[in-house]
Amino acid sequence: MGFELTGKNALITGATAGIGLAVAKRFVKNGANVIISGRREEGEVIAREIGAHFVQADLTIDADISRLFDHAEVLLGDLHIVINNAGRINKGGVIAEQSVSEFDQVFHLNVRAAYQVLQLAAQRVTAGGSIINTASIVAMSGGAGASAYCASKAALVNLTKTAALELASKNIRVNAVSPGLIESEIWDGNIPYEMAKKIVPMQRVGGGDEAAAVFHFLASDDSSYVTGANYLVDGGYCAGPVMR
């Protein structure tokens, strides 16, 4: 499979489901020592099943973020990889109608908490390490009815570039991955699958491991000259409109 991770210590937030869990499984399979975090208590069982550690944390609570990194140091020692993956999906609502409180909820987790994770990662990841932020294709395209979510992911892409500039001299790489329609338990029925046939050039939803493969590359030493980048995993969606 390539992209050696043996002996690497990785912390992955928001990893009890979806892309985060797919990344954790792939990292463990390729020799990394992994901590997954999330709000759900079931994370303990999930971590045990895949051969990882679990630290329960609600990243909207400042103390939980600090505690998460402290536990990571105790459990693993040096940190080589941090996947800043936890995020909140926009509840919907056009700009003229969405409440400020809903906007704040999205930005609290997707930007404020992500910034705090990035900040601690910048302090604790060792030279030669990798920090990866999970953004979204909406950071580039926007989306009617999802203003808070789109703006939050755009902010994360810009933070990625800024952090990459600041940490380059320390030989710490910072990149983003922007997934499109990827298989997930959050989807309602067949809606994304039918949508993909219409708007995705490859005419399908991506698999979790297809997204995880990109994180795997960016976490490995094979990407040693890649920083400040934003990798699209979207089946061609951002390349332009589908003409059929």
**Residues belonging to the active site:** 149
Dihedral, CA of residue 15, residue 17, residue 20 and residue 24, to nearest 10: 70
Q: Within 13 Å, how many C-alpha atoms sit on residue 153's CB side? A: 27
Q: Under a CB-based contact definition with an 8 Å cutoff, are residues 216 and 24 in contact?
A: no
Nearest to 116 by CA among 39, 54, 199, 57: 57
User: Phi/psi class of residue 126: alpha, beta or left (left: φ > 0; alpha: ψ in -120 to 50)?
Assistant: beta
